Amino acid sequence: MRSWFLLAAALLPSAAAAAGHDVSLGATAVILTNGGIYNVTSPRLGLEAAYSNELGSWRLGGGIRWAPAGQGSFPVEVFARALLSPSLGTWRPAVGPELGLSGLPVVINPRGGLPDDLSRRHAEKLGPAYVALHAAPLRFVFQRFTASALELQWGTSLNQPGSTLRLQLGLVHLGMTL
């Protein structure tokens, strides 16, 4: 029995390295809008920390985003994603769905004689859960390091799909395989 434990202890570090556990940090810009009263046109700049595990051509993982600029009670998002990422030499583009919980949506109080309860009605449409399509067309891997720029994300809230639009631009992400 002891020999099995020694064999597992010897193989686990190499299996973890072969599995492609990646951590990354990056800068991002998020725009949330519904095209109406809640129409935020300026992006919220933020930071993102992510983890992913490579399983064949899939990258499964998640992370956290912090976007302190702008209004809002809790400017944090937590997300999980599954990205299809073919290996094409050093170029490793990725695309797939992302699910998350967001504290970023805020309702701007209307101006110009609109009803007082309009903000409350718009807030009801903005649930904290969202779904998005995430694409990283400019993602590259150099030995143990990854670099990605101009990632794009397009999505909506799950409370009332289509009632809000979520656009995100990943400015730059730098990562490392553990």
- Does the reported pTM lie above 0.75? yes
Per-residue tokens: 105: 């949506």
Q: Does residue 170 surpass a pLDDT of 90?
A: yes
The 10s digit of each residue's pLDDT in 30-67 is 887 766 555 556 788 999 999 999 998 999 999 999 98
Task: Report the distance separating Cα 2 and Cα 33, nearest Å.
Answer: 59
The 10s digit of each residue's pLDDT in 94-139 is 999 999 998 876 565 555 666 666 666 666 667 789 999 999 999 9
Domain ranges, ordered by start, for the chain: 20-177
20-177 placed in CATH 3.40.640.10? no
More confident of the two residues 8 and 117? 117
Place of tokens 């805020």: 106
